[in-house]
Amino acid sequence: MGALAFCAFCVSLPAPAAPLPTGLHRVGVKEMVTTLNDSDIAANSVVNDDTDVVDDTAAADMAADDVVDDDGVVVNDNPVVVDANDTADDDVVIDGLDDVNNDTDVVNDTAANDVKQLLGRDTCLVTAGVGHPFSRIAKVFGKSKKRYANKWGYRNYVYHASNYNSYVLWCSKTKFGKHISHSSWHKFHIHPVMKFCAMAHAMAERDCKNVFWTDGDGVIVDWNTSLSFDWPGSVKSSDGEPWLLASLAGFPQGTRYKKRFIGHPGAGLGSRLKAEKGEGFCEAADSCTDFYKFYSCLNTGAILMRRSSEAYKVMSGAFFTSALGVQHRLAKCSTAHMNKWGFEQCHAGGDQCGIGCSLLHMNKDRHKHARHMVPGISCVTMAAPQRLQEVMSPKWLNKHLEVAEGRLPSENVLVVNPIGNFDHGSPQNKGKVLDWLLTYYPNMKEFADTLNPDTRKWLVHVR
């Protein structure tokens, strides 16, 4: 089983064909396209080339020509649909034109640096949300991401579905999903399915050459910094063009499964480690060159991937890593021995485990040099002057939304990811973090002012 599962690391998809033809129409006006066949795109998919939203319920939300957003405002520039509930007999539907700013060719005058610039139309923001409340959260914050994307000429895709089964059905019939060709989709962890189905679809079927993923509740708080694989302060694992830009958290990720932590929710989480201890490990000078530290601290809430064989290997590898039995997965992928506290990324088999384990097995010399980084990685730590992302826990905020000492995110950060849950009454409820984000960062204050009061209230009291 292990050999069969990990052969996925050797798989790559063919280079995507040219972009799909599009119709020049108002949003919401549908044109049936009969020139596409199954070799171009899954026959059961509904595709909208203005793709800001991928939604299995969107058809019910649309009038003939208008779309009503979450704030009750009729808009004609913000919908996108890929219907996960379609059947193989359905036609491909195009609701508009890809939302690309054709006046923006180069998008990097303040950010990352002036040497390696990303073309706006080649770069896509991708996020996803499935089920309640994640679908609505992804759509709401997708609007703020759209503002960021518009500024730099990027495309913006928000994939969402009313339930996980619908999302899986849609994914299984995409080019990437067909390539996975695994009958037991229920064995895959939800996180790699959510993340990599959307990212791979954007690469293979939306012709995105660079895909920047953010979690559905991840917030882009700085709209004045553009994307680049040459991020300020980044460390490259090799010469040449990187295919992955990833960032490290300020503390080891995962949990500790030791007796003294059992029965105490959250007690074994890396976020409970004292800030100075985490910094000493994850912000060390060698944290981007020592694979043990890189893998232990890797947080994939925000990552930039270049369309490449390596990207497809990592994404497909993450699927099959998550399908392994826990003991088999730990034998192949464990991080517990890579940090002195025993924090483990791979108990559940989520996407961070999947990416790290895929990279581990891409190192052909791993048995002799397991701490070596594989080529093509651009890594950013929390010690960088411009941070790619940070995490924020509700436990670090008091009732007055004051941040605990040593936990305040930098003002020079692109993305802030809340960690915790959306369980009512839980001290780990992310609503407190969202409330703080909407009032602390200037761009988010500006965005919050555009929200319907009911939506704003719902965000900070998510149930």
pLDDT in tens, 94-152: 122 344 333 333 333 344 433 345 778 899 999 999 999 999 999 999 999 999 999 99
pLDDT along the chain (463 residues), means of 10: 38 39 24 26 29 35 27 28 35 30 35 51 93 92 95 94 90 90 81 94 95 96 94 94 94 72 47 69 93 95 96 94 92 93 89 94 81 95 92 90 90 92 87 93 94 91 72
Half-sphere exposure of residue 301: CA atoms within 13 angstroms, side-chain side: 22
Neighbouring residues of 278: CB distance < 8 A, sequence distance ≥ 6: 249, 250, 251, 252, 270
Residue 272, pLDDT score? 61
User: What are all long-range contacts of 20-24, with beta carbons under 8 Å and residues at least 24 apart?
Assistant: 20/47, 20/49, 20/94, 20/205, 21/94, 22/49, 22/94, 22/96, 22/97, 22/98, 23/94, 23/96, 23/97, 24/97
Residue 35, pLDDT score? 25
Classify strands 413-418 and 219-220 as parallel, antiparallel or unpaired.
antiparallel
Looking at residue 407, the DSSP 8-state letter turns out to be: -
Q: What is the pLDDT of residues 419-452, one digit of tens each?
A: 888 888 888 899 999 999 999 999 999 999 999 9
CB 218 within 8 A of CB 302: yes
H or E stretch including 199?
helix 190-205
Residue 157, pLDDT score? 94
CA–CA gap between residue 242 and residue 135 (Å, rounded): 32
Q: Which among 131, 45, 122, 450 has a CA at the least distance from the CA of 305?
A: 122
Residue 103, pLDDT score? 34
Residue 368, pLDDT score? 77
Residue with tokens 């959260």: 137
Residue 369, pLDDT score? 81
* Terminal C-alpha separation, the chain: 40
CB 127 within 8 A of CB 156: no
Residue 347, pLDDT score? 87
